[in-house]
Structure 1
């Protein structure tokens, strides 16, 4: 009973944390563009979120393994999520969003501890199912944030939307105080011994898959696709609905990823197939030309977030010793943060010179290359399928 209560509190913290992190996201790009920011500047601001994670995630993972505890890192993450939006409230401009995104990146760097805190109690066979579950609640928090944003943005504006983010971050912090964690078990390895886990080929391979998935998602669905919708004549309300469709799809596909039905095909099937779906989305979204068609297309990146990210995470962690998992997870998340940093900035520059379609075609090529690489990986390593 106590374990169930602890899990319920933890999942509530997860939902509130991601609500705080993403409630302002559907309108971030259009808000900054409307304030006069160039596409390249918007790309840099969006990419700052990933840059902070890229720098911090591996040190956070090593620190968590050394300390042997995760609750303090969860608490820091919740406070940073609320604090980031407090900065956005005080300076609701490009500088404020750049600073806020750096703080949000610090908050998301702590997601390592959220993941290990939850999945660490499950066996190797249960890892994919457990990963799918926590990703589902992660996406549920984002969905609730997007829904609130869609319903309220036109009425209350960006400043008050960010106040709701501050409130959610504070609530997540207060609830995290109630979490129960076993006694600390860290300290058995030196930093060098912990970092040796980062040499694993499988960890590298699926970190790169996640780099593509997360980078493309942040660049398109979370950013420039909203601009495509606005260019096609969509209102702010429709932009919000687009984000809701995407997140409902992500929640449902994450639930599917944790099911036995999905598990029968396995990662060797789903990872390359969904990467091809990502490539198709990048080709179709900028040429759709119709708001209803773009809204339907938002289902496709939901499949990417729900299935591809879950499988990439669980595959990367295969065979990692429990006492080194935070370091491995830190490395994994730091690598995909490179995609969250570089791809928005790169795409913003391409869009500024050659237009949105050119930027999206480059992303489609990257996703297709990832699909080809994973097909080759599973042909060489069929036992991993």
Structure 2
């Protein structure tokens, strides 16, 4: 295990929280902000989905580059820089071009998350990937929660542009701190650079492909609901900035709690597939319940359980993506994983925006529940297949011993 100074770990934690805060400080008010600028529901879906669209094409090559050069810090610096530019683009008055450009730049920013996760995993020894991803998931949720809790308060207390101004300032602060990061020596010298001949082996990793598909569906649900059209649903039910803040808190606090305890409590008792399947089952039920919810209290309840459900499977999927991949190829694997789940971040809100325009917001939420149900079916099928393989191996060993 790398002996990383406590100060560096603390610095990384602060930078990570600032990174996510800057990106999510405007998320709860984004769809209302775009609606007030005169954008239609289908185009709001395009803007929301563009965040994932960029990541589909940027994350994988960025991961390859990071492995090729054995560097993570430059990409973290790039992430903080693009976070600032994203917020500033939203502040430019004018037509749809600038909001779309701002969200596209946010997608570039989010693509650098590959470097964050792999660098943090390198702080831990072999076999501790699950713990590392659980910890960094808590940092992620903490930054997102801080940003999203600030969003409604800034909008109500100042104006609709305030979240973007604060986001830019937070990103600049994070950029300054990022220059103080030091990469572990093994990340820089001891490990060989990723060769292009190794990429083929990484992308064929079975577990990586399985969890990538599940993550596509999980992010489709997430970006249809809390990070997409749930705030518009809340506004339809009469929510103001304060109530939007309450809604965010109801989602993010259980999400953070579940992310913290999943690897420590749920997985040892229920296994990876059991925990992931439970998360998708709960998420499916809560997303479907939003279709029938006719009060703000009901909406808050569904998002609280949904937040907990997301915290059950998100950290596990993240850890499993690089579990079976050697260190020199981890950024490549993480880049592929994050590029693939960006499909859900793009297609989820894009298709939901189209459905919402024709059948109202409930059409999109129903679509989200179907995505969750499909993921649950896949988890059950793969869990049974894995159990059969394990059982066959045990029988074969017994026969070999008996023979």
Give TM-score scaled by structure 1 length: 0.96
Q: Does the CA contact (< 8 Å) of 1:282 and 1:364 recur in 2?
A: yes
Measure the CA separation in 2 of the matches of 1:189 and 1:151.
Answer: 46
Which residue in 2 is equivalent to 1:224? 229
Instruction: Give yes or no for contact 2:280–2:375 (8 Å, CA) kept in 1.
Output: yes
Alignment of 1:124-143 (within 5 A): 124-143=126-145
CA distance in 2: counterparts of 1:75 and 1:188, whole angstroms: 21
Q: Which residue of 2 aligns with 1:312?
A: 317
Equivalent residue for 2:120? 118
Residue 9 of structure 1: CA displacement? 0.1
Does the 8 A contact of 1:281 with 1:297 survive in 2? yes
2: CA distance between counterparts of 1:165 and 1:101?
13
Partner of 1:266: 271
Tell me by how many angstroms 1:317 deviates: 1.7
What residue in structure 2 maps to residue 328 of structure 1?
333
Instruction: Please give the secondary structure, in 1, of the residue aligned with 2:124.
Output: coil
Deviations 1:148-197 (A, max 9, x none): 11222112122121010001111111111111113424654432422431
For 1:280, the equivalent position in structure 2 comes to 285
Give the match for residue 179 of structure 1: 181
In the alignment, which residue of structure 1 is the partner of 2:301?
Answer: 296
In 2, the alpha carbon distance for the partners of 1:68 and 1:261 equals 34
2-structure distance, mates of 1:325, 1:91: 41
> In the alignment, does 2:77 pair up with 1:36?
no
Task: Name which of 18, 23, 26 aligns with 1:24.
Answer: 26
Q: Could you tell me which residue of structure 1 aligns to residue 395 of structure 2? A: none
Aligned to 2:105, the other structure's residue is in SS state helix
C-alpha separation between the residues in 1 aligned to 2:250 and 2:307?
8
The 1:151–1:276 alpha-carbon spacing in structure 2 relative to 1, beyond 3 Å, is same
CA contact (8 A) 1:130 1:258 kept: no
1:303-359 CA-partner distances (Å, limit 9, x unpaired): 233221101111222210110000000000000000101110001001111222222
The alignment yields a C-alpha RMSD, in angstroms, of: 1.8
Q: Tell which structure's C-alpha radius of gyration is larger.
A: 2
Match 1:358 to one of 353, 360, 363:
363
Moved more, 293-302 or 130-139: 293-302
**1:65–1:323 CA contact under 8 A, matched in 2:** yes
- What SS does structure 1 have at the residue aligned with 2:127? helix
Moved more, 226-235 or 74-83: 226-235
Q: Which residue of 2 aligns with 1:54?
A: 56
Spell out structure 1 runs of 4+ moving beyond 4 A. none
In the alignment, the residues of structure 1 paired with residue 138 and residue 55 of structure 2 have an alpha-carbon distance, to the nearest angstrom, of: 21
Q: Specify every segment of 5 or more residues in structure 2 that has no aligned partner in the other structure, as ranges.
A: 392-403
Conservation of the 8 A alpha-carbon contact between 1:221 and 1:301: no
Q: Residue 400 of structure 2 aligns with which residue?
A: none
Contact 2:72-2:115 at 8 Å conserved across structures? yes
Q: Is the 8 A contact 2:49 2:345 kept in 1?
A: yes
Task: Note the C-alpha offset of 1:364.
Answer: 1.0
Distance of 2:194 and 2:67 partners within structure 1: 8
Distance 1:270 1:242, change over 3 A: same
Structure 1: gaps (5+ residues): none
State the alpha-carbon separation in 2 of the partners of residues 108 and 141 from structure 1: 13
Distance 1:304 1:192 in 2: 38
Matched residue of 1:259: which SS?
helix
**One of 71, 74, 93 as aligned partner of 2:73:** 71
Aligned to 1:146: 148
CA offsets, 1:245-292, max 9 Å, x none? Answer: 211121111111242454322212111111111111221113110101
Residues 224, 252 of structure 1: alpha-carbon distance in 2 compared, 3 angstrom cutoff: same
Instruction: Please state how far the C-alpha of 1:144 moved relative to its aligned partner.
Output: 0.7
